[in-house]
Chains A and B, each alone.
Chain A
Amino acid sequence: MRADQPLLRVAGLSVRFDTPDGEVRAVDCVDLVVDRGECVGLVGESGSGKSQLALALTGLLAANGRATGSVRLEGRELLGLPERELRAVRGRRIATVFQDPMTALAPHLTIGTQLVETIRAHATVDRATARTQARDWLERVRVPDAATRLRQYPHELSGGLRQRAMIAIALAAGPDLLVADEPTTALDVTIQAQVLRLIADLVQARGLTLMLISHDLGVIGALCRRIVVMYAGTVVEDAVATTLFDRPCHPYTRGLLAAVPDLARPDHRAQPIPGHIPNLLAPPSGCRFHPRCPLAVDRCAQEKPALREVEGRRVACHRAEEALA
């Protein structure tokens, strides 16, 4: 570990997909720094490129996808790393929890097998030891009756237990950075809070760095001290949670906040952002948000706004000052 290096530094990261209809630019020139021990939230409407950004970190894009730019883990460039070396990073340095544990777990393998293979992919331990460690992991994610669960298949577990098992699998090789991509979206509302709490506790207890991805600001706000807002593949605002909630700057962030039902003020109706996310085959010129933006001026359609420091946050908006005024 080098003190002068952030754990993760993403710079100019773009993800493009070749499709029969043309090139989809799912992630466009994203800059993002995650320090060791931080909990960073990545928020944005569905389709804004959050998942593809997460997958691009360790080279897990679909076959028609391509990432350019730079992803550095403690200074070491990961983009373009040969598959062999990436394998040592996946699971061991950067682990990912996916959205739907029903499809993200192999239906034909027991939970035990899926835990053991992860442990053994990164450490030279014999099967029996790995099995014991696997049981310990299930206990750590608060799965009751762990020994029995090890022998069960994913479909035999409830949604909540499945996601706990998925978390155990992600953590089993002892990663530094946990990327949780919509970890509670597929779960019942009552279970969501439990799983979030579990993630928060594990992150604290194990000194993990967390990148939590969600379309739900409520989920992000519950766990993250810093929030990165994405829109149509670009980062539009990056701020400390309190700043973001108290004085959102980017018109899109404001829209997101207004779209969250405020339980404290039931008289205020949630206001969805008018319009919809653009077609990424031909994204709008300039600021990708300008067609939906209440503050848009001519310049917004012509010039892509850079992420810049404005009153203690980073924001990509030509009219940031006016927005805050």
Chain B
Amino acid sequence: MLQYALRRLFGAVPTLFLIVTLAFVLVRLAPGGPFDEEQALAPEVKANLERAYGLDRPLHEQYANYLGALLRGDLGPSMRLRDFTVNELIATGLPVSLALGGMAILLAVGLGVPLGALAALRQNSAVDHAVMGVAVLGIAVPVYVVAPLLALVFGIHLGWLPVGGWSGDARELLLPTIALALPTLAYVARLMRGSVLEVLRLPHVRTARAKGLSPAAVLWRHALPPAFLPVLSYLGPATAAVLTGSLVVETIFGLPGMGRYLVQGALNRDYTLVLGKVIVYATLILSLNLAVDLLYGVLDPRVRQRGRS
């Protein structure tokens, strides 16, 4: 198992390298550069700036320098927010985004799995219809509609929760978390419901019943663990969805997370900032996918052994 984990970990390095390279090329492929839009920039000032940031060097040299710095964990200075390094900007944004995304995933799985299972066990009951109705809404209505709606209703009309801004109060994360979790929660619930219904029809569940096991043992030991596997597989894509969703949610609720400056940075051609954030996102997604795969191995012995051999 450990060997498998290590091998998978090393397997992720080329992927990450590819992403860095692609991102490096893509940001530079976009027309314009970081210092093009600043007004009244004398040509010699612009040239000086480009020299200072190494943009006057040939591309392959810039690339080599960037990779060298990256290996030391240095993402370079921001090209537009010149008082900050990219590392500093990420260090302030990442904890907020991680807290938001982590809580959203926990909420989505923690609530989506039991709701989906319950809907399956009470198939065609009122509970089932209610859960699936909400799930369809959750999937269909985009975050940028849900988030302002939540803010409006709970933050402004009812005044239950603070909205807009960030003063360090954990309650300020509640509405953004719900808004962010909702689509994933809905998807997880639907996935789990279908999966439970399918597993309940499998021969091994019938065997469990034929042995005279209690309904609880049949459900918890024989049906639910295999039924959870599709949800687990979905957690990889779900993380990606939550990360993109968090860009929107952070903006709407004015949270200083990773999403801050990202869109602006892209529009401004802040090469280093965009690249740095892309790398952090990619690393997050890759490592979560890896964690999911390893967890899958724990739950499904067939996968575990294939990995071992």
User: Residues on A close to B: CB < 8 A?
Assistant: 55, 58, 60, 62, 83, 87-92, 95-96, 98, 100, 103-109, 117-118, 121-122, 153, 155-156, 166, 169-170, 173
**Quick one: which of B203, B212, B213, B222 has the most chain A CB within 10 A?**
B212
User: Residues on B close to A: CB < 8 A?
Assistant: 201-204, 206-215, 217, 221-222, 225-226, 299-302, 305
Is the CB–CB distance between B211 and A105 below 8 Å? no
Is the CB–CB distance between A153 and B302 below 8 Å? yes
Q: Which residue on A lies nearest to B225, using beta carbons?
A: A108
Is the CB–CB distance between B221 and A109 below 8 Å? yes
Report B269 CB to chain A, min CB distance, Å: 51
Q: Which of B202, B214, B300 contacts A121, CB < 8 Å?
A: B214
Given A153-B301, A153-B302, A156-B305: A108 touches B226 (CB 8 Å cut-off): yes
A118 to B221, CA, bound (A): 13
A108 to B227, CA, bound (A): 11
Is the CB–CB distance between A121 and B217 below 8 Å? yes
Report B-chain residues with C-beta under 8 Å of the C-beta of A91.
210-213
Q: Which residue on B lies nearest to A118, using beta carbons?
A: B211
Is the CB–CB distance between B211 and A121 below 8 Å? yes
Report A134 CB to chain B, min CB distance, Å: 13
Given A105-B207, A107-B300: A88 touches B212 (CB 8 Å cut-off): yes
A278 to B206, CA, bound (A): 27
> Which 3 pairs show the lowest CB-CB distances between chains A and B?
A91-B212, A90-B212, A91-B211
Report B-chain residues with C-beta under 8 Å of the C-beta of A96.
207, 210
Q: Which residue on B lies nearest to A88, using beta carbons?
A: B212
Report B-chain residues with C-beta under 8 Å of the C-beta of A104.
203-204, 206-207
A156 to B201, CA, bound (A): 24
Is the CB–CB distance between B209 and A60 below 8 Å? yes
Is the CB–CB distance between A107 and B211 below 8 Å? no
Q: Which residue on A lies nearest to B123, using beta carbons?
A: A63
Q: Which residue on A lies nearest to B229, using beta carbons?
A: A108
Additional pairs, 18, CB under 8 Å, beyond known A90-B212, A98-B203, A169-B207: A60-B209, A90-B209, A91-B210, A91-B211, A92-B212, A95-B210, A95-B211, A103-B202, A104-B203, A106-B207, A106-B226, A108-B225, A108-B299, A109-B221, A117-B217, A153-B301, A153-B305, A155-B301
Report B-chain residues with C-beta under 8 Å of the C-beta of A108.
225-226, 299-301
Report A-chain residues with C-beta under 8 Å of the C-beta of B221.
106, 109, 117
A263 to B210, CA, bound (A): 38
A88 to B213, CA, bound (A): 9
Is the CB–CB distance between A87 and B214 below 8 Å? yes
Is the CB–CB distance between A121 and B213 below 8 Å? yes
A155 to B302, CA, bound (A): 7
Report A217 CB to chain B, min CB distance, Å: 25
Is the CB–CB distance between A107 and B226 below 8 Å? yes
Is the CB–CB distance between A117 and B213 below 8 Å? yes
Is the CB–CB distance between B211 and A117 below 8 Å? yes
A89 to B209, CA, bound (A): 11
Is the CB–CB distance between B211 and A173 below 8 Å? yes
7 pairs of residues in contact across A and B, judged by CB atoms under 8 Å: A60-B210, A107-B204, A107-B226, A117-B211, A117-B213, A155-B305, A169-B207
A166 to B210, CA, bound (A): 12
Report A-chain residues with C-beta under 8 Å of the C-beta of B301.
107-108, 153, 155
Report A176 CB to chain B, min CB distance, Å: 13
Report A-chain residues with C-beta under 8 Å of the C-beta of B207.
96, 98, 104-106, 166, 169
Report A-chain residues with C-beta under 8 Å of the C-beta of B217.
117, 121
Report B-chain residues with C-beta under 8 Å of the C-beta of A169.
207, 211
Q: Which residue on A lies nearest to B222, using beta carbons?
A: A106
Given A100-B203, A117-B221, A155-B302: A83 touches B226 (CB 8 Å cut-off): no
Q: Which residue on B lies nearest to A153, using beta carbons?
A: B301
Report B-chain residues with C-beta under 8 Å of the C-beta of A155.
301-302, 305
Given A106-B222, A108-B301: A62 touches B201 (CB 8 Å cut-off): yes
Given A117-B221, A155-B301: A105 touches B204 (CB 8 Å cut-off): yes
A197 to B68, CA, bound (A): 71
Report A-chain residues with C-beta under 8 Å of the C-beta of B212.
87-92, 118, 121-122, 173
A100 to B202, CA, bound (A): 12
A98 to B203, CA, bound (A): 9
Report A-chain residues with C-beta under 8 Å of the C-beta of B215.
83
Q: Which residue on A lies nearest to B209, using beta carbons?
A: A60
Is the CB–CB distance between A98 and B208 below 8 Å? no
Report B-chain residues with C-beta under 8 Å of the C-beta of A122.
212
Is the CB–CB distance between B302 and A106 below 8 Å? no
Report B-chain residues with C-beta under 8 Å of the C-beta of A105.
204, 207
Given A117-B213, A121-B214: A107 touches B302 (CB 8 Å cut-off): yes
**Quick one: which of B206, B207, B299, B305 has the most chain A CB within 10 A?**
B207
A65 to B293, CA, bound (A): 39
Given A108-B225, A155-B301, A155-B302: A90 touches B204 (CB 8 Å cut-off): no
Report B-chain residues with C-beta under 8 Å of the C-beta of A121.
211-214, 217
Report B-chain residues with C-beta under 8 Å of the C-beta of A103.
202-204
Report A10 CB to chain B, min CB distance, Å: 18
Report A141 CB to chain B, min CB distance, Å: 16
Report A-chain residues with C-beta under 8 Å of the C-beta of B222.
106, 109
Is the CB–CB distance between A106 and B204 below 8 Å? yes
